[in-house]
Amino acid sequence: MKILLSAFEPFGGESVNPTQIILQELPDTLEGITLIKVNVPVEFDTCTETVMSAVRRETPDAVILLGQAGGRDAVTPERIGINLDDARMADNAGKCPKDIPIDPEGPAAYFSTLPVREIAEAIAEKGIPARISNSAGTYVCNHLMYSVLHFFAKEGREVPCGFIHVPYLSEQVKDKEGVYGMALAEMSEAVKTAVLTVAKKL
C-alpha cells in the first residue's frame, strides 16, 4: 500500500513550515505502508503539477495533502475545497489572484474523499486537539485540494484524497502574543494517525 503525503514550503514571512518538518521526520514506511513524500512550492501555478507528477509516477492508493493554517488551535481535516483563488497575500512566486475560479468549467466545490470525521476523532482520541474544518480558505492550500480532487474526478479515479491543516509550531508563536502553537511531536503523531486511519479504509 502506498500513501502520498505532501507538505508545503515556508511562506508568509515564516522561516519554517511544520508540514515539511513532519515529512522529514516520518519514516519511509509506516506499519507496512509506503509513504511517498512530496514537498510542494507555495505557488498557485506550480503546486498542483508538483503533486500530480508524483501521483502519475507512483500511483498511490490515497493522497493526503498537508498545510499550515497559522492561528488555528487544532489539527483540522478539511471537508471541502472550493473553486476559487482569492489571496490576501502573494504566493512565493509573487502571484496574488483575486476572485478567480480555479477552473471556470469546474464544479463549485469538491468534498474530501478522505474519512474526515474518523480522522479528526482518531487524532482527538490521542489527546491532540483536532476537529473538522469546513473551509480550506482561498489560498494555495485550497487551490491544491480542489485541483487534485478535480483531476481524480475528471479521470474517474477513485483515489481517496483530501487536505489536513496543522497549526503553527510552538516555536513559531514565541513572538505572536495570544496565538496558539502546537508541539511538533503532537503534529507528527496526528499525521501518523491520519495515515493509519485512511489505510484502514483502503
**Phi and psi (nearest 5°) for 71?**
105, -20
Q: What is the pairing mode between strands 80-82 and 109-111?
A: antiparallel
Contact yes or no for 81/179 (Cβ under 8 A): no
The residue annotated as part of the active site, out of 47, 78, 143, 150, is 78
Q: What is the pLDDT of residues 1-23, one digit of tens each?
A: 999 999 999 999 999 999 999 99
The residue annotated as part of the active site, out of 47, 141, 143, 186, is 141
Q: Strands across the sheet with 76-77, in order?
A: 29-30, 33-40, 2-8, 62-68, 161-166, 76-77
Q: What is the pLDDT of residues 104-124, one digit of tens each?
A: 999 999 999 999 999 999 999
Residue 157's pLDDT band (cuts 50, 70, 90): confident
Question: How many domains is the chain partitioned into structurally?
Answer: 1
Q: What is the pairing mode between strands 2-8 and 62-68?
A: parallel
Model-wide pTM > 0.85: yes
Question: What is the rounded CA–CA span in Å between residue 99 and residue 108?
Answer: 13
Catalytic residue status for 141: yes
User: What pLDDT sits at residue 45?
Assistant: 97
The residue annotated as part of the active site, out of 43, 47, 143, 165, is 165
pLDDT at 198 exceeding the cut of 90? yes
Q: Could you list the residue range(s) of the whole structural domain that residue 157 is in?
A: 2-201
The domain spanning residue 155 has which CATH number? 3.40.630.20
Catalytic residue status for 165: yes
